[in-house]
Structure 1
Amino acid sequence: PTIIIASRAALQSVPPSIREAALGIGASPLQTQFHHVLPLALPGIMTGAIIGMARALGESAPLLMIGMIAFIVDSPQGITDSATVLPVQIYLWADSPERGFVERTSAAILVLLGFMVVMNLAAVLLRRRFERRW
C-alpha cells in the first residue's frame, strides 16, 4: 500500500498543463504518459518504493505472526549460509537465555537500524537527484 499510494500521489502531482501541452503538440495519450508524465513522477515513485521496502524490512510483528512457520534456528556461519530475516533473528536471539546472545542481539539491531538509515538516505538522494522543476 505504501508504494501504491506514493506512486498515485506522484502521478497526480504532475500538473495538468504538462499533459495538455503534450496532447496539444500531437502526442498520443500513451506517449503523453510515457514521455512526459512518467519521467516527472519517477522520483516520487522511486522514493515510495524504497521507503516501502525499508518499512517492510523493519516491521517484525507480521513476520513473527506469519513467517515463523519456516524459520531457521541455527545462526549463519558464512555469507552463503541460509538464514532467516533479521527481525525474526533478533527476536530469537533476544529470547535466548545465554549471555552471549545479548551482544548478538545488540549488533543485529544496530545492523537493522543502519540498513534502515541507508535505505531512507538513498530515497532522499534519489528523489533530490531526479526531481525536476516545471
Structure 2
Amino acid sequence: MALSLSRLRFWLNYYRDEVGFVRAITAATGVILLITSGLLWLTYPAGPVRPVEGRIIAVGFMETDRGSRSTASVSVDGRPVRIQLPARYGCRKGDRIALKRRATRFGFSYGVGRNPKPCSMLTPFSQQ
C-alpha cells in the first residue's frame, strides 16, 4: 500500500502542471454547474399554468438596451401587472385580456395566452 501511495505521489508531482490545470477546469465547471442549477431552481415554475382574465389599464412602450417593446399594464385580481403585449393584437385601454399565470418561487408571472386575439372589447355601458 505504501508503495502505491508513493507512486501516486510521484505521478502527481511529476505531472503537477497538467493535473493542476485539470483540477482548475474541474473546479470551475463545478462552480458554474452549481450557480446554473441554483438559478434554474429559483426561476423554474413552481406550479401549473392557469388561465386568468384581466383588464388593460394602460398601453405603452418600455425602452430597453435592445430597443423599445410594447407593453400593457393590466389589472389582475385588483393588482396592476405589467406584461409584454405585441402591438399586432390591437389591444386598447379598457379591453379584457386573457392571460396565463404561472406560479414561481417568489410569486406569479403573467403572459399573454396562446389565443390569436387575447383582447376583447368591453360592452359599453349604454348597451348593457
Provide the TM-score with structure 2 as the length reference. Answer: 0.29
Larger Rg: 2
Q: Which has more strand, going by share of residues?
A: 2
Q: Which has more helix, going by share of residues?
A: 1
Provide the TM-score with structure 1 as the length reference. Answer: 0.28
